[in-house]
Amino acid sequence: MKRLIFVLLSFAIFCFDIPIGAQVTSNVLMRVLNLRVNAGTPLAATATGFTIDVDGREYLITARHVVANLKDEDTVDIRSDEDWIPMRFKIFRCADPIDIAVLIPPRQLTVNFDLPFDQLNFQFGQDAFFLGFPYGIASPGQGLNGPYPLAIIKRGTISGTIPLDVAKKTYIVLPDGYNNPGFSGGPIVYRDFSQNKYVMKLIGVVSGFIPETVPAMIQHDIKNPSEAGAAARAQPWRIQQHPDGKYFEYVDNGTYITLNTGIVQGYGLDPAIDLIRQHPLGPLADRKSVV
């Protein structure tokens, strides 16, 4: 009975375009899964995956680096009912440099409400959303997503794309928004404003963020700004004052740290779709067969 109620609620949400979870609709939100790989080993990590339907069959998409240490057929855990459920998947990987992997599930994992990924109609500068489980954090599903938790939703701006191979329709998509560890493999979606209805479409898969490596610094006390070193004189922001008014300068300490630039890096789905059609092995997708 509980599962029947969930199916009917899911169908109603989809049919009447009732958005759940900010501005991201249920056809996106209810496809996103929390993954764990390499459980019980020093390489154990959590990440994100999401389902898509291609030619009537369901596939699980994630970032290729998430499954880098797995075999071509291996176990991936899925968070369900506050526990981790191990499942065996066949794993296919897109060729370098595309950071996408296609996993063949043993059965349908999620509802299959329509989530378009072709005929992209996004505009540079419009909002995009990316979903996932940063540091394993999730929102309680409370039955809205069956046994699964709800993904965390973040918003950014579609800042641009970088073509990699025009003939193969491969490109990098660059949303301007902060991505954290755990979002890898999550979907990047946008609203298609060319349609009158509220239609969300897939634009890509989260790979990571573009980093910036900068020198780490320590404080070095000085009597006045004229005693500052050459680096501080060239970059006056390095010269500061303590609360008591005494001066100090920031000096490099010989080590470096990596910063998040706030630019998300994702990859377009076309190579994954081509890979799926080379290996059409996914289970049949049926909206009424949930989990």
Tell me the two tokens of residue 118: 């072709």
Per-residue pLDDT of the chain (291 residues; tens, 9 = 90+): 444 444 444 444 444 444 444 478 888 999 999 999 999 999 999 999 999 999 999 999 999 999 999 999 999 999 998 899 999 999 999 999 999 999 999 999 998 888 888 767 788 888 999 999 999 999 887 778 889 999 999 999 998 899 998 888 888 999 999 889 999 999 999 988 877 788 889 999 999 998 999 999 999 999 999 999 999 999 999 999 999 999 999 999 999 999 999 999 999 999 999 999 999 999 998 865 455
Secondary-structure breakdown of the chain: helix, strand, coil percentages, each rounded to the nearest 5: 15, 45, 40
Is the CB of residue 40 less than 8 Å from the CB of residue 161? no
**Greatest Cα pair distance in the chain:** 77
Is the CB of residue 170 less than 8 Å from the CB of residue 117? no
Cα–Cα distance measured from residue 20 to residue 127, given in angstroms and rounded to the nearest whole number: 17
Residue 135 pLDDT? 94
- 2-211+261-278: CATH topology: Thrombin, subunit H (2.40.10)
Cα–Cα distance measured from residue 287 to residue 206, given in angstroms and rounded to the nearest whole number: 26
Is the CB of residue 164 less than 8 Å from the CB of residue 266? no
Q: What angle do CA 56, 27, 203 make, to 5 degrees?
A: 85
Residue 121 pLDDT? 79
- In sequence order, the β-bridge partners of residue 282 are none
Q: Where are the domains of the chain?
A: 2-211+261-278, 212-260
HSE, side-chain direction, 13 A CA sphere, residue 221: 6
Residue 227 pLDDT? 94
Give, in order, the Cα–Cα distances in Å from 22 to each of 18, 129, 131, 226.
11, 10, 12, 53
Is the CB of residue 232 less than 8 Å from the CB of residue 248? no
The distance of Cα 273 from the centroid of its chain, to the nearest Å, equals 18
Residue 290 pLDDT? 55
Q: Give residue 195's identity as a one-letter amino acid code.
A: Q
